[in-house]
Structure 1
């Protein structure tokens, strides 16, 4: 029986970096933070590459690391904002943002941003990353049933938001 070849991190980076940045961008809502999240995930993979037994699982490991790093970043943001003494200044969106996405897509993204974190993660992984329920459950460390219920609740909440209804965040 031959052992799997070691993970080629350079090749993994070349083939999956952009995809992981896009995933993180949808979860943390800004490109610079998304790039930091992905960088940390790759660094973690580099530090622990000896522990990765199956090189074919490297992409799944990386995706899970990106989701976990995104969660950590969002927790840190909440903590910082909770302790800020002064209000943060309004930051205008980039000038080209209107060109990049059609208004309809922007409305959907704004609605997705209003979802609770777990629901947002499930939808991003399901519809953007095109992952199966089992893959999502594995990446998020939850059961397939939880994936299904979170996706269902998220879609119901999105429909309500898109129809102009207010949500109280408890859906």
Structure 2
């Protein structure tokens, strides 16, 4: 019975030596991934849930992770996949009045009408285009990293970003 317990413990939680690296990954990236998820789904609580579920999935798989340097791309992709699933379950795009999250008093002071317009325009984009822009410019990923996170080729990521920027600029043009 002791042997079964040891095996179960090993497969469901990081080894003690690795807990620090998992915790460090969470501390360094959870907030940024939550912000990314918010931009994708438009709901702060849902974004937090998505990120928590993604990190929980990584935590469960941590002991079998062969290359810890790939943990961030893994969790980033998991967040994107969970956002996609959430949006599919909704069946309708986010249509409510978009109020950006207030992370601190400083960020509340920075929020202005221009930023709200950009966020609203971002949510009018197709989900894949929004995803490409958020990864490329909000998270400041390279074309290759954006493609990897989205599960597409580099060329497709590049063209998706280009089309998304064109569409975003159309949404932001002053109404005549």
TM-score range, shorter chain: 0.7 to 0.9
- Which of 151, 159, 162 in structure 1 is aligned with 2:161? 151
Aligned residue number for residue 115 of structure 2: 105
Does 2:131 correspond to 1:118? no
Which residue in 1 is equivalent to 2:78?
A: 65
Q: CA RMSD in A?
A: 2.6
Alpha-carbon offset, residue 50 of structure 1: 2.8
- Residue in structure 2 matching 1:34, options 47, 61, 73: 47
1:65/1:162 Cα in 2 relative to 1: closer, same or farther (>3 Å)? same
Instruction: Please list every run of 5 or more consecutive structure 2 residues that lacks an aligned counterpart in the other structure.
Output: 1-16
Note the alpha carbon deviations across 1:73-105, whole angstroms, 9 max, x for none.
111111xx69xxxxxxx78959x7975511001
Q: Please give the TM-score of this superposition, normalised by the length of structure 1.
A: 0.79
TM-score by length of 2: 0.77
For the 8 Å contact 2:42–2:98, the answer to whether it is kept is: no
Structure 1: segments with no counterpart, 5+ residues: 83-89, 166-171
Count of residues in Structure 1 that have an aligned counterpart in Structure 2: 152
Structure 2 residue 23 is the aligned partner of structure 1 residue 10: yes
Contact residue 146 and residue 157 of structure 2 kept, 8 A: yes
**Distance apart, 1:135 and its partner CA:** 0.3
Which moves more between the two structures, 125-134 or 8-17?
A: 8-17
Contact 1:6 1:55 in 2 (8 A): no
Distance 1:108 1:91 in 2: 13
Structure 1 residues 100 and 31 mapped into 2: Cα distance closer, same or farther (>3 Å)?
farther
SS in 2 for 1:48: helix
**Residues 17, 114 of structure 1: alpha-carbon distance in 2 compared, 3 angstrom cutoff:** same
